[in-house]
Structure 1
Amino acid sequence: MSVCYDNPVVLDRREGPYGEVVLRRHGELLQIIANGCFLMDTSDGRSERLLVDAALAALDAREQPNVLIGGLGVGFSLAHAAANPRWGAVTVIEREPAVIDWHRHGPLSELSRDALADPRTEIVEADLVEYVHETSDTYDALCLDIDNGPDWTVTEGNDGLYSASGLAGCARVLKPGGVLAVWSAQPSPEFEGTLWNAGFQQVRTEEIPVARGVPDVVHLAVRPG
């Protein structure tokens, strides 16, 4: 008996602290939908891997750096970071309990099982906007994969992370010379200017070609030493 995957199949639907989140399967892909808006799926992961690799490369020869990843998503960033033995510790901040549960006990575990079993990995259930202003921990790199980037946020409150105040919090949790890497669904010259104005240095943008439309990008910036 053949199975038709023309229409997405909802695997789980939950009311979270910030609205409805849905996990669905569309063919071979797993998709996360937030408040009716598509967020991400398991189709590729190139941009998430570049997010992590670009941050690590910008740290030069720093030994066993630790990284804070903002947003668990479908797990590409986490899995890629944990697969690299050069990272000393990998901490992920995720504010949706459902997303964490889908990775620990649900269908997304097939992508993150090895990473979650790695003793260097820690998952923290928290709002990153609040976390960067409250934690006493500091990191060599901060990789942000929150929403769809600085110019197109789906969830109310996420845009505050890309504001001057939010970026001040990001700088606060970075060690001197630490790297901020920000994924975006589209290039944002305005955000580059905001990074400079927030006191970051060596601001640059790397593009990731996509099948159709404008490329994804990773914005990179360094906290002054």
Structure 2
Amino acid sequence: MIPWVLVDKAQVPGQVPGSGNDLRLMQRGAEFSIMLGQNELMNSRLSGSEQALATLACEKIATRETPRLLIGGLGMGFTLRAALAVLGPKAEVVVAELVPAVVVWARGPMAPVFGDSLSDPRVSIREADVRQLIRPAAESYDAILLDVDNGPDGLTRASNDSLYRRAGLSAAHRALRAGGVLAVWSSGPDAAFTQRLRQAGFDVEEKRARANGARGGARHVIWVATKVDVR
């Protein structure tokens, strides 16, 4: 069997240097894995639920002439590529990635995984915390897709939790245009989060998606929340 090889590592902002919680990009042949400690955050062979995140959300806004989409988390680009496949030529897709090294990996060793998605004229990459693009926005996006951390139950940095609390969800509600969609990926269900979405002014659908799509794999959860008037 081909062994795993460390390609690069990077510190996650907010983590204590030397804590052993660096992000590590691993490679085995044509397969890539991004690890945090002993936890695998993503693998280039498992893209089904990330693709579903984009497809479920973008199908709801695809008829809009010039949809504007914000994706929180570049990852391995599965969500980005799936969104581009659904949206038309006048769409604008903004991707916020907190860890600059992830963008470097996307343009470097993982370029074959990303294909031509990063050079698509509809796409702009911002090396920033997605919260910085949500908080000041007012009715700026038709959809916000969050594939940040492990979902509402954060893993990589405690500050990510604020995205999924009531204040963060209210900020996302304000940032969406009428009838806009907030879609959230998670490794597992969270009934309290579903309730917070409703309290923040969303109609909520909770979907299940397999990590490897039709071929199976772990069961992940995707919330598709449509903006309505705040109750």
TM-score computed with the length of structure 1 as normaliser: 0.88
String of CA shifts for 1:144-169, please: whole Å, max 9, x gaps.
Answer: 11111112433221111100011112
Q: Percent identity?
A: 37
- In the alignment, the residues of structure 1 paired with residue 198 and residue 33 of structure 2 have an alpha-carbon distance, to the nearest angstrom, of 34
Match of 1:122 in 2: 124
Deviation at 1:95, TM superposition (A): 0.7
Match of 1:224 in 2: 228
- In the alignment, the residues of structure 2 paired with residue 79 and residue 60 of structure 1 have an alpha-carbon distance, to the nearest angstrom, of 15
Residue 142 of structure 1 is aligned with which of 121, 141, 144?
Answer: 144
- In the alignment, the residues of structure 2 paired with residue 83 and residue 53 of structure 1 have an alpha-carbon distance, to the nearest angstrom, of 9
**Number of matched residues?**
218
CA 1:136–1:212 in structure 2 vs 1: closer, same or farther (change >3 Å)? closer
- In the alignment, the residues of structure 2 paired with residue 24 and residue 68 of structure 1 have an alpha-carbon distance, to the nearest angstrom, of 27
Match of 1:94 in 2: 97
Residue 36 of structure 2 is aligned with which of 24, 34, 37?
Answer: 34
Question: Any idea what SS the aligned residue of 2:158 has?
Answer: coil
**Contact kept in structure 1, 2:139 and 2:177, CA below 8 Å:** no
- In the alignment, the residues of structure 2 paired with residue 110 and residue 137 of structure 1 have an alpha-carbon distance, to the nearest angstrom, of 35
**Contact kept in structure 2, 1:14 and 1:21, CA below 8 Å:** yes
- In the alignment, the residues of structure 1 paired with residue 129 and residue 97 of structure 2 have an alpha-carbon distance, to the nearest angstrom, of 7
Question: Any idea what SS the aligned residue of 2:40 has?
Answer: strand
More deviation, 70-79/153-162: 153-162
- In the alignment, the residues of structure 1 paired with residue 8 and residue 187 of structure 2 have an alpha-carbon distance, to the nearest angstrom, of 26
CA 1:96–1:60 in structure 2 vs 1: closer, same or farther (change >3 Å)? closer
Deviation at 1:15, TM superposition (A): 2.8
- Amino acid of the residue matched to residue 220 of structure 1? V
- In the alignment, the residues of structure 1 paired with residue 145 and residue 198 of structure 2 have an alpha-carbon distance, to the nearest angstrom, of 17
More deviation, 17-26/163-172: 17-26
Q: Tell me if 1:81 matches 2:79.
A: no
Match of 1:15 in 2: 11
Displaced runs of 4 or more, over 6 A: none
- In the alignment, the residues of structure 2 paired with residue 154 and residue 33 of structure 1 have an alpha-carbon distance, to the nearest angstrom, of 10
TM-score computed with the length of structure 2 as normaliser: 0.86
Deviation at 1:218, TM superposition (A): 0.8
Q: How does 1:143-158 map to 2 (within 5 A)?
A: 143-158=145-160
Deviation at 1:8, TM superposition (A): 2.1
CA 1:14–1:209 in structure 2 vs 1: closer, same or farther (change >3 Å)? closer
More deviation, 10-19/155-164: 10-19
**Contact kept in structure 1, 2:179 and 2:228, CA below 8 Å:** yes
Superposed CA RMSD: 2.0
- In the alignment, the residues of structure 2 paired with residue 127 and residue 146 of structure 1 have an alpha-carbon distance, to the nearest angstrom, of 10
Task: Give the unaligned 5+ runs of structure 2.
Answer: 16-21
CA 1:134–1:107 in structure 2 vs 1: closer, same or farther (change >3 Å)? same
Q: Tell me if 1:207 matches 2:211.
A: no
